[in-house]
């Protein structure tokens, strides 16, 4: 580990909440793909599998920001524990209904309840932001580290979820994800010393963090970006199954995450200068272009290489996104703002997985890779159209209005990207 990353953990408590965050974030990488694998095994219907996953993601899009808004007002421990218990109970109901062959509508009801799963990544990043509020360089490294943790989850998570569901029993992957969520959130909320202190109640307003024009651009762009991720997951599982190696889908998706993980590790060691908004725009465009070679994949090794290259653009773009959220959202709404980006991804995953599932059912897996290509094109267009808003004035970090500093100078000064 480099000195930059070692220095992060000199502060007491950081190792504990980061490890708890890793455990609590694994379900994010396991539940969706686990539900797809489970339902496709039990019913053979990828369209239904994608639709149920879409319902879960859309529910997360509705409930996630509301949970995080409550966290900003009342603290992590008071809000996350009951939210987690409710989400885990819904996951159990979903698995039971799928296993017993209950009517399709019951799957959607429990998927909607499971969407209350807390955004553990936003909670951990909020702790880093509170610790390194006055050290933009350290915060850049911290966000890069958390991006690495995210990708580790997406390397290990699908392997565990798909592997267990195919080798043991169909519901094994999502079941283990529920256990991880309970353990991770329980451990995280027990660490009160590093929990961000809620801002005084009089500083909170009824306004949503989405009042920030810059945040709206990020969220809408991430809807399209999430569609890329959701489509790639569903189509890759179907692609591997068509070639008689369904379990290998987890390894191929792990290679996708590995590319992002390595890029994030390197990016965290850099101190990029210049406007963060420009780096973000280039990152979104790189992710979009990287989807084109997937249509040429004729076998799993070629697909794995193409996805590895595509993954290289993910983590740097995500790190830059967190920096832009931190710059454009008032401090009293930081957790909510970070969760809104996750919400955009969740909505996109819902749309992408659902669309990909229907295309796979209608035309086969290879045709399904047209969905992430189309989603990438939309992401690039939205990013170009919204770029000027991200370069515009940003709110004062204490949340008391607009900062009229020059945005380019702000990016250079903040050095977080």
The bridge status of strand 402-403 relative to strand 394-395 is: antiparallel
The pTM score is 0.72
Domains of the chain plus CATH, in order, are 14-196+209-414 (1.20.1250.20)
Distance CA 393, CA 398 (A): 15
Q: Using the structure block, give the residue that is written with the tokens 């690495």.
A: 148
Q: Which residues pair with 402 in a beta bridge?
A: 395
Judge contact between 177 and 50, C-beta under 8 A: no
pLDDT digit string (tens) for the chain, length 417 residues: 566 777 778 888 888 999 999 999 888 878 887 888 888 888 888 778 878 887 887 888 788 888 888 888 888 888 999 999 999 999 999 999 988 888 989 999 999 898 888 888 889 988 988 888 777 778 878 888 888 887 778 777 777 888 888 888 888 889 999 999 999 999 999 998 888 887 665 454 556 777 778 888 999 998 999 899 888 988 998 888 888 887 788 788 888 888 888 888 888 777 777 788 888 999 999 999 999 998 888 888 999 999 999 999 988 898 888 888 877 887 777 778 888 887 787 778 778 877 888 888 888 888 889 999 999 999 999 999 988 887 765 544 444 333 433 344 334 333 333
Q: What φ, ψ does residue 395 adopt, rounded to 5°?
A: -70, 150
Q: What is the DSSP code string of 336-371?
A: HHHHHHHHHHHHHHHHHHHHHHHHHHHH-HHHHTHH
Beta strands in 60-127 (DSSP E): none
């Amino acid at each position: 580990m480099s000195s930059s990353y070692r220095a992060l953990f000199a502060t007491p408590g950081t190792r504990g909440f980061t490890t708890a965050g890793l455990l609590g974030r694994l379900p994010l990488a396991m539940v969706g793909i686990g539900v797809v694998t489970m339902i496709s095994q039990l019913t053979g219907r990828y369209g239904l599998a994608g639709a149920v996953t879409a319902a879960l993601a859309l529910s997360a899009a509705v409930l996630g920001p509301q949970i995080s808004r409550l966290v900003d007002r009342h603290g992590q421990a008071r809000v996350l524990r009951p939210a987690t218990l409710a989400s885990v109970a819904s996951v159990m109901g979903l698995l039971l209904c799928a296993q017993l062959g209950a009517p399709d509508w019951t799957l959607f009801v429990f998927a909607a309840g499971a969407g209350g799963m807390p955004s553990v990544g936003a909670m951990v990043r909020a702790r880093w932001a509170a610790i390194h509020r006055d050290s933009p360089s350290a915060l850049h490294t911290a966000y890069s580290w958390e991006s690495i943790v995210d990708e580790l989850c997406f390397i290990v998570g699908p392997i565990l979820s798909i592997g267990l569901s195919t080798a043991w029993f169909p519901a094994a992957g999502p079941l283990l994800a529920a256990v991880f969520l309970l353990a991770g959130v329980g451990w995280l909320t027990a660490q009160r010393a590093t929990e961000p202190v809620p801002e005084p109640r009089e500083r909170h307003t009824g306004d949503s963090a989405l009042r920030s024009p810059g945040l709206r651009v990020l969220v809408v762009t991430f809807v399209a970006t999430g569609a890329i991720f959701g489509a790639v997951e569903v189509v890759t599982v179907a692609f591997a199954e068509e070639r008689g190696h369904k379990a290998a889908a987890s390894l191929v998706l792990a290679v996708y995450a590995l590319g992002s993980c390595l890029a994030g590790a390197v990016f965290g060691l850099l101190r990029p200068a210049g406007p963060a908004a420009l780096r973000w725009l280039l990152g979104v465009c790189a992710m979009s272009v990287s989807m084109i070679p997937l249509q040429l994949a004729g076998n799993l090794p070629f697909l794995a290489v193409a996805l590895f290259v595509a993954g290289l653009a993910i983590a740097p773009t995500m790190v830059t996104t967190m920096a832009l959220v931190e710059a454009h959202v008032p401090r009293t709404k930081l957790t909510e703002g970070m969760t809104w980006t996750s919400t955009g991804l969740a909505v996109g995953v819902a749309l992408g997985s659902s669309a990909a599932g229907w295309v796979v059912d209608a035309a086969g897996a290879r045709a399904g890779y047209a969905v992430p290509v189309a989603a990438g094109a939309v992401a690039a267009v939205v990013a170009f159209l919204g770029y000027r808003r991200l370069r515009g004035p940003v709110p004062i970090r204490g949340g008391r209005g607009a900062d009229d500093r020059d945005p380019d100078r702000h990016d250079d000064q903040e050095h977080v990207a």
